[in-house]
Amino acid sequence: MGYTIDTIYMTTRNFFPKRIVMLLLSMFMFLNLNSAVVLADSYNVTASVPYDPPTVAATVESPTANNSVSSNNVDITGTCQILSPPTIISVWNGPTLLGSTPCQVGGNYSINVALYEGINVLTIRSSNTFLLYGPDSSPFIITYTPAIPVSTPQAAAVSPTGPINNPQTSGELLITSTTPFGVTNNNNSVSITITVKGGDKPYTLLINWGDGTTESQQLSAEGDYVYTHVYDKPAIYNVLVTLTDVLGKSRTFSWVVTSEQIPAIQSPAAGKVPSGTEKVADFRSYTYFAIFALILFILVVVFLFGRYYQTTQSDKPIPKNILKKPRVLR
């Protein structure tokens, strides 16, 4: 504003001594500096502390272990640990990711995955949004045997024995991802790397982003393909990817997208509680802002009253003793 300490003192000298004005200005600058430092410290603390990983392994309620199925698509359900942000449940066939889904409010999950012909050794993994894993479930075996045509004599029931299927080298149509889930950035954008392999080329890839939009592309070769999508708002989305080869064989892959900005839809008591340092930093920042605002208000009031007083005094007649000609000493 262009006012110096002497200027403010001249307009307020009838109310406060000069040392009080200087003290108020010093407090003003000190609180302004320290409130900015505290805010920076508070931001760094809250942004750098990750949430704890799950501590309880997910369970499998369906299907039962050592089971044999005739369809390559199977629904897997079970229980999971409630966290906030939500726990991410991913299903793995050995080292191959079959899909992921969030843990629901009731502490359960449900996901449809595509099996590979033969023995599938499945494991349910639990992680938080920082990709910190908790304990895995116990591995369980599901054997997939394609349905036999009616005209063909029925074969004996298949038992879960024999070589374990490796989707990466089996030659079957394979679709997976390099990451078990995606987390949107500040622009609500997320990228997924999809691995395509096996089957008969060329392929047709269809992505349902879970927000009502879809994307389709023709692929002429195996490999990793990166796709990016921007959502309207932070939330949990279930992405469904369908891969179809030239012979009409198809395989689906589910992939969950989450965000660190979503509201706590699950029990807050089960999630990460801010540490004492974070609470103190936040309290200090609010306190400094309140004192800063109070000091600023006092300074403005004092300044305005000083200007008002100075204006009213200028309207009064000047005392005669001031108008006397000064005596000159000789």
In a domain, 321, yes or no: no
Question: Are residues 86 and 135 located together in one domain of the fold?
Answer: yes
Looking at the predicted structure, is the pLDDT value of residue 28 above 80? no
Terminal Cα-to-Cα distance of the chain (whole angstroms)? 46
> Looking at residues 234-256, what average pLDDT do you find?
95
Question: Tokens in use for 201?
Answer: 């080329």
> Is residue 167 located within the same domain as residue 31?
no
Residue 105: name the closest of 271, 274, 273 by CA.
271
38: helix, strand or coil: helix
Which pLDDT score is estimated for 189?
96
Q: Is residue 246 domain-resident?
A: yes
Place of tokens 């995606």: 182
Min mean pLDDT across 34-43, 125-134, 186-195 is at 34-43
- φ, ψ of residue 163 in degrees (nearest 5): -70, 145
CA–CA dist 297, 290 (Å, integer): 11
In a domain, 145, yes or no: yes
pLDDT at 14 over 60: no
Domain boundaries, position 42:
5-48+276-301
- Considering only residues 158 and 283, tell me which one the structure prediction assigns the higher pLDDT: 283
For the segment 226-254, the average pLDDT, to the nearest whole number, is 95
Check whether residue 14 and residue 73 sit in a common domain. no
Regarding whether 108 and 76 lie in a shared domain, the answer is yes
Instruction: Tell me, yes or no, whether 90 and 234 share the same domain.
Output: yes
Confidence band of 60 (pLDDT split at 50, 70, 90)? very high
**Counted domains in the chain:** 2
Q: Is the pLDDT of residue 327 over 90?
A: no
